[in-house]
Structure 1
């Protein structure tokens, strides 16, 4: 009798992990600093005509005295929806720190770390070389019910190498490669992709085309795992175009709001989907011209951020203090949100503690 009573007490008093998500969306915004995510526009760049070609318009669009208001102007979905219903990590002013663990602090090493959960020093350039590491996407694509239900849409062509499309067979629509046309909408997207000016070369597709191509794919194919990788934020920063960089961040925030609304209107996704948003690396901050750069010669560009929301994610908002988190924890966190443990033949960072919602 006593044993039965003890078991009942444990059953009803111990926290239980909430129902895991059935679908996951991973989003990356290339080279977006934590400073803008948590403080909004940087006045030293926003009001400098060297970086913002129309400072009057820049002020009207992005400026407010309070950082909490500025950040909502820049990324309203991130703060009004994810900030209220999910979690945000990386505000170092509040003691929340997220770092890359790879020693390079630029794109391909960062994407490998995000996807494989492993900082591999063999990946030390942005050359388009197929990733030798198993990624969490490859792992998930092997699981029952997920095979053939993993899709990647990226603006930068190197991402298809980062996910090793050739080895894994994962569907990866990357840069300006032509896509199959199954409908009038597909044909239109294909034509625009072919004819739209390629400001940053053939290896980069305009982010709006990446988004709308992914949106159409979701409607038609309903993948269970979606990786959306945007690139123009980094290209505009390297070009020193701060106002345009902010506009692109704001546009992508709008795409995510639109995608979330779409998913919540589809029975397969509504209430069953988690979203995780992050970046591959940070940028410099002092002197202000270092904002254009990143890498080991640019101080603090190892500092990143992360946000999560949806099924299985605890609604604890903006995080304070806590242990230092690392980019290599993202892959295992994605798998855990789906109720799985990501294991591979290489080391994998542990899932982020506290991200999973628990109920009694």
Structure 2
């Protein structure tokens, strides 16, 4: 009997170790979104029309920080990680001046519908037509991953906007979501306790959106402790600064977000769990206008704003061909979810995610 017990115990241990080894071998994905960032800002750098408009309050400072001798230099000054790292080691899609177009398929052209499209691979204009805090009836790729054997308990989401628990449907999906001004929970380290303490002591500009630096560090602490396989991080400041017409802060926030993503990438490249086995997929939930007229107003987006359907996409990782800035193509935002599913080898319902994955090679 003792021999049988030992055999059973050994089998269980071997099965556990095999499962753990398989889980660690499978790739990791960091899906990252920047709210309401235009393709123009990513690919051409600072908008000189907006720089010279009433939206700018300190023109000289912006010129010193973001204006070089060419558009190529401008975009490197604004987003150095994108153009010094991703452009060399990965792919950038969405420069419409080079015939690379990335578009939304939903017709709402604002945040909740955009995030639903990114996370589920399908627009749902019938049911998702507001930013109200309604639990999403659609199943996101985060929920699909968390329900799978390989990724159960290895999925997490961090967001600046407090609507994300509803978008991800944390109650049904079981995916841990830290969003808005939610505190970190569980067995906390000293840094997490400190973040809990200070996130509401810092200036509260918007009650529904916390500063991205807190979202970033809550995410990074969790990642270091738990090593999730699929992480979703939704930075939010850029859209809110743009809505307020604060072009100075929009530019600074975009540069800061680029630096936060660079910080995550550097961590990943120095962590044995993630190194050489992790993909970053970065995009936005919608575009916005490029002018001052109501039909194309930079501060706005939505179905009545020209250009709000135009997005962009950046990818870097071990299985990604180094194409850099891609030209002459048509991609859609609904391809993000099936692409993540393909990387993670997740089984999805084809009727729920009809879009084709991106060709990464």
Taking structure 2 as the reference length, the TM-score comes to 0.89
Q: Is residue 2:301 matched to residue 1:294?
A: yes
Deviations 1:292-323 (A, max 9, x none): 0000111111000000001221111100002x
Farther off after superposition, 207-216 or 176-185: 176-185
SS of equivalent to 2:354? coil
Aligned to 2:199: 193
1:65-214 correspondence runs (5 A): 65-121=69-125, 122-180=127-185, 182-201=188-207, 203-214=208-219
Residue pair 2:121, 2:355 contacting (<8 A) in 1 also:
yes
For 2:78 and 2:40, the matched residues in 1 are separated by 12
* Cα separation, partners in 2 of 1:37 and 1:288, compared to 1, 3 Å: farther
Judge conservation of contact 1:21–1:273 (CA < 8 Å) in 2. no
Q: Give the equivalent residue in structure 2 for 1:348.
A: 354
1:110-169 CA distances to partner (integer Å, 9 max, x unpaired)?
A: 000000001001100000111100111111112222101000000001111111101011
Alignment-derived partner of residue 55 in structure 2: 51
309, 323, 329: which one aligns with 1:316:
323
Pick aligned residue for 1:325 from 325, 328, 331 = 331
- With over 3 angstroms needed to count, the CA separation of the structure-2 counterparts of 1:288 and 1:60, relative to structure 1, is farther
SS in 1 for 2:199: helix
Pairwise CA RMSD: 1.4
Contact 1:331–1:342 under 8 Å retained in 2: no
Report the secondary structure of 2:200's partner residue: helix
Q: 2:34 touches 2:238 (CA, 8 Å); kept in 1?
A: yes
**How far apart are residue 21 of structure 1 and its match?**
5.9
**Unaligned segments of structure 2, at least 5 residues:** 1-24
CA contact (8 A) 1:21 1:312 kept: no
Deviation at 1:243, TM superposition (A): 1.3
Check 1:135–1:36 CA distance in 2 against 1; reply closer, same or farther (3 A cut): same
How far residue 22 of structure 1 moved from its aligned partner, in angstroms, is 1.1
TM-score by length of structure 1 reads: 0.90
- Distance (Å, rounded) in 2 between the aligned partners of 1:173 and 1:66: 40
Q: How many residues align?
A: 333
- Does the 8 A contact of 2:112 with 2:131 survive in 1? yes
SS state of the match for residue 195, structure 1? coil
CA distance in 2, matches of 1:209, 1:313: 30
User: Where does structure 1 lack aligned partners over 5 or more consecutive residues?
Assistant: 1-19
Aligned to 1:13: none
In the aligned structure 1, how far is the partner of 2:241 from the partner of 2:102? 24
